[in-house]
């Protein structure tokens, strides 16, 4: 990007790095949005829905990188853009339908993402 800020939250909230794999569909989208909105990871064991915390969602195919062999990771577990972009949009839309104030990155863009990790708390949420 050219330094333009496209998505941000200016108050305590959640930064979601969202990876999509080949088998992810409507059920995974719905589960993921509900889990993000309801998981109790904020102060005093509260969820984003409890305190109306904003959510910044950034697409992140590299979460499915596999570096177990060799010196170069493979991205074969990450869904291609024609699968992952609609899933990304659907998670954001589902969060909004649940009442979340959602800010987004730019799908597929080379972005600089800054975060202040309060806690720190970082979780991997993987649908059942």
Three-state DSSP state, 57: strand
- Of 32, 60, 107, 122, which residue is the catalytic one? 60
Q: Is 62 a catalytic residue?
A: yes
Q: Parallel, antiparallel, or unpaired for β 46-47 and 55-59?
A: unpaired
Beta strands in 13-123 (DSSP E): 14-18, 40-42, 46-47, 55-59, 102-104
d(CA 19, CA 114): 18
* 61 annotated active-site: yes
Q: Among candidates 61, 62, 66, which has minimal Cα distance to 85?
A: 61
- Are 56 and 15 in contact, with CB atoms under 8 Å apart? yes
Q: Which of 62, 74, 112, 122 is catalytic?
A: 62
Q: Is 32 a catalytic residue?
A: no
Indicate which residue of 21, 61, 74, 122 is catalytic.
61
Active site residues: 60-62
């Amino acid at each position: 990007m050219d330094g333009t800020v496209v998505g941000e939250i200016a108050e305590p909230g959640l930064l979601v790095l969202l990876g999509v794999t080949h088998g992810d569909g409507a059920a995974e989208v719905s589960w993921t949005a509900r889990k993000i909105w309801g998981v109790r990871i904020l102060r005093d064991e509260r969820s984003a829905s409890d305190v109306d915390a904003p959510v910044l969602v950034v697409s992140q195919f590299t979460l499915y990188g596999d570096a177990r062999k060799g010196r170069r990771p493979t991205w074969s577990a990450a869904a291609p853009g024609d699968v992952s972009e609609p899933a990304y949009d659907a998670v954001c839309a589902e969060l909004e339908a649940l009442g979340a104030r959602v800010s987004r990155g730019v799908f597929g863009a080379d972005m600089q993402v800054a975060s202040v990790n309060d806690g720190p708390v970082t979780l991997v949420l993987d649908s059942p």
